[in-house]
Every structure is written in structure tokens, then in C-alpha cells.
Structure 1
Amino acid sequence: MQLGAGDEEDQAVLVGNKHQPPPPPEMEMEIGWPTEVRHVAHVTFDRFHGFRGVPEELRGEVEAARAPSAGKTVFGVSTESMQCSYDGRGNSVPTVLLHMQRRLYHLGGLTTEGIFRVAADATQEQRVRDHLNTTGVVPDDDDSGGPGGVDVHCLAGLIKAWFRELPGGLLDSLPADEVTRWCQTADEDECARLCAARLPPHKAALLDWAVGLMADVAREEKANKMGARNVAMVFAPNMTTQAAVDPLTALNDAVQLMNLLNMLIQRHLNEQAQAQAQAKQQQHLRSSTSSLLSEADDSTDDIY
């Protein structure tokens, strides 16, 4: 077999390489561990299951620093660790309270006699509480697990319980002596201003929402027999967690908180009455202006 000129050259190269010695150690290539490598992980979070998709090597640290909002409860936790929504006045309020408020209004709770004063059925209240802790929403009538669906007194009781179990209380940061002094001035606007200045922003917003709820109840006093003072009386004990030294002091503090809430409710009612009066006045003015313009058009038509 004869080889061509090109084949002879390739064979010579192969033979030559076969007899070449291996490269010295300093010229050998070493493959080390990769550097500046980035591992991308997609981590999600929800209130009931916490963090999902955390890498195995970081899971211990994440579980140790688990946020309070990952707990399966909406009672007894701070507002900062809860899902919040805005109400009609721009207040950031825990969404669960807005759910209960809407259902209470939808079921006619505002006109139910003794609302927020009449105790609810304990079994149903516990059942609805468990459903709220599991889902964060009020159960439908079909999901309530009891006859007759969710009762308005059950919702009212759970709203009070939410405030009663709020860590630090809603009004604990208001000194009792200052509350007494504010109430003695009988200046509703000054009381509202001082509350907003003294309370943390999230609690001031929550107080404004609660006062609005109480004012809505008091506005239907003819039907529900719950005036502003009655509503303030049943809410006041749930707005603080401070324990007084003696029963007499505790009673006096509760009375002062009741007076404070009563003043804030009255202020809210007065504001709404003024807003309604202004709206009626503007509507009357627009109607009068429209009538005058219509008469002017008729007069013009008569001339021509």
C-alpha cells in the first residue's frame, strides 16, 4: 500500500509525538472549585405556610427567624404582623376586621337590638374563630358548621375579642391622668388631636376605624338601643391590657376610657352630620342654579 505525500507527513507527526516525553509538573493544568458562583432560588411566603422554596442549607436559619405573621392565628398578634387593607377613611386596618365589619353590616347588625352588648353563643363563636384563624375570612353560612349560619352577636363578640387580645392594648400608651384631664376639658377636637399625637400611627389608625364602627352603631340607636355612651361602655374594657393596682383604680380608669370613647364617637357623629348638611346644601344650590338657568332659557325663547 502506497501512501501519499500528505499521509506520510501525518504519520511522521504521530510517530514523533508518540516518543515525546510528558510535560513537566509545573505545566500541568489543574481544575479547581468554581468561584463567584450564584445560586438562584425562588422563595415565596404566605401567612399560613411561611417561606417556601428555601434552600436546604438556609432552612434552619429561616425557621429560627420566622415572622409572627406566619402563625395560623389572627387573634393575639400585633397589627404590624398582619395583612392590612385600607378602609374608607384611608386607615390601614387588619383585613380580618374589615371582613367581620362588612359581614356584620350585611347581616343587619347595626339595627339589631343590643349589638355588642348581647353575648354570642360560645360554641359558634369558637367555630367562627377557628375558621378565621385558618382562612382569614368569615365563613359563609354553608361553611359555618352550625344551624342558621353566622350570628351578628358572634361577629360583634369576635371584634371585641380581637381588641381585647391585641398585644399592648390599643390605648395602653395613653397615661390615665392625661385621659382624665382631656375628658375634663370636654373638647372633642382636642381629644382627637392628642390621641393621634400620643398613639403610634398604626394604633391611631385602628382607633379611628373603631370609633367609626361605634359611631355607625350609635347612629342606629332607635333600633338597636345602643347610644354612644352604651357603645363606649362595652368597648372600653377591651381597649387596654393594663392591670390597675386596686379595683377602685381599675374602675376609675375604665370610666375615663369610656368617657374618652364617648367624646370621640360624638365628634365622629357631629362630623358626619355636618358633612351631610353640607352635601344637602350643595345639592339644593345646584338644584336652584339649574332652575334659574332653565327659567332664563325660557325667557329667552319668549323674546325670540
Structure 2
Amino acid sequence: MTTRLERREHRAAWLFLFPMAAAMLLVALWPLGRTFFFSFTDAYLDDPTTYGFVGFENFLEVARDPSFWLAVRNTLVFTVLSVSLETLLGLGIALLINEAIPGRGLVRAAILVPWAIPVVVSTKIWDWMLNDQFGIVNKAIVGLGLAEHGIAWTSGSWLIMGVTIFIDIWMTTPFMVLLILAGLQLLPGEIFEAAEVDGIPAWKRFWSITLPLLRPAIGVAVLFRVLDALRMFDLAYVLSASNENIMTMSIYARNRLISFQELGIGSAASTSVFLIVALVAILIIGALRLDRAAGEV
């Protein structure tokens, strides 16, 4: 039975949460609800007040469009490769700067620089550096005799996806480092001291102690990065908005909504992206819960 003090604390908590909940309803649920509503209409962006209901026809139109499935494939390739490499690099760098090395504070500050630069700025910097005519990367390659002429990094059928993944890794690995490093610093040092005293090799300490204890932190970091990568828009759009080789689901939805003025179909595409990201989030969270439950048994 709750006491009067507990009830007052609950009411106070809800009062403090109310402004945030109201803001969330205003800036998140209302636009999402309107997008969901228009996805069942034949509305166009030039006159959104004139429309008729078409049921699931817009979703069927999106599902029949080969460009949508190309965008899904590009998004999945980008997500799997970038998040995997960022996790491995983030883990390695976090392990390194977690040690008592000279200049560790300076290294931690310096590693945040790529993450602190806005995505548009970082993308344009790399786009200029990789330019096949005047880019510093191609000038270095030609100057070293590795190629006779500059390489068109951002126009090739497969090179541009590699460039996109590389830029994302450069920008976002610091984010993974921060989350994994935070998890490392919460691990009990007594376990590692005891293992070292017992003569257990460093690689075995990492594999049998560090990695299992760090799995929850890595899982959370991967969850955040997967959800962010699945809705990636700005990097690919700034790098080459019209290139289908890096068209993501978000870019596809934007093109149907803005370029073609198809409010109904664009809303259906946006809703599909939301449902895909939500499904992936549910699957990853479920896997993390199962892993935690298995660890507690």
C-alpha cells in the first residue's frame, strides 16, 4: 500500500514529465500521425487539402517500385558494413585509450573532432578532397605513381558506396568509442587484477572477461548506430543526391514526396521506413534482453 508521501512524489514526477510529454506529442506524434493519415490518400503536395482515400494502394505502389527495393538494399549494405566496422574500430580505440598512456586526455579530446563537425561540412570536405581533378587524394595517388590519372571516387557504380561508408566511419567511430569507453570504465578492476595475478594471458582476459562484461555496452552502442544508419539521409544526399547507387530509403521517400510532389505515396514510403526501423529496433532490443537474461541465469 502506497503512503501519502509516495503518492505526492508520483504526482510531482508526472508534473515534471508533463512538459516533455506535451512537447513530444507536438513535435513527434502529430507529424507522424499526419504522415500516416496522408499515406492512405492520393494527395499531392501542391494542394494537400484536396484528396481522396485510396486504402493501401500507396503502399502497394511503393512495394512494386524497383527503386524502393534498390534503396532498401543500399541502406542495408551501408548499415551492416558501416556499423560493423565502426564497432570493431570503436572497441579497439576504446581499449587503447582506456589504458594509462601518455597524452590520453589529449587523444580523447582529439578523437571527438570528426564527430563534432556537422555531417554536411564533413561530407563536402571529403567530396572536395576526393575530387578527380583537383582533390588532394588523387593528387597524392598520381604523385606517388599509383595511378596515371585521378580516380572518380564519387561517380563509380561501387566506389561511391565505399566512399560513403568510409566517410561515415570517419565521422561516427568516435561515437562508438565514447559509448564503449564508458562501459569499460564501469567494469570492476578487481577482476582484472586477480586474473593478472593468476597469470592469465592478456588475450584470454579480453576474450573471457572484458568482452562478456562489455556486451551490454556494445549492444546499446550498436542499437543506436543501427537505428541511425537505417535512416541515413544527409551524408548520401550531399555526396550525390541523384546517384541511385547510394540512394537510401529516406532519400527515396524524399524524392517521392518533394521531387514528384506525391504527398500520398511519399507519406507511404516514409511510413514504410518508420515501420522497418521500428521492427529492427524491436528485434535488437529483444536480442539484448535475451542476452541479459542468459547472462543472469
TM class by shorter chain equals under 0.3
TM-score by length of 1: 0.22
TM-score by length of 2: 0.23
Structure with the greater relative contact order (CA < 8 A, sep ≥ 6): 1 or 2?
2
Higher percent of residues as helix: 2
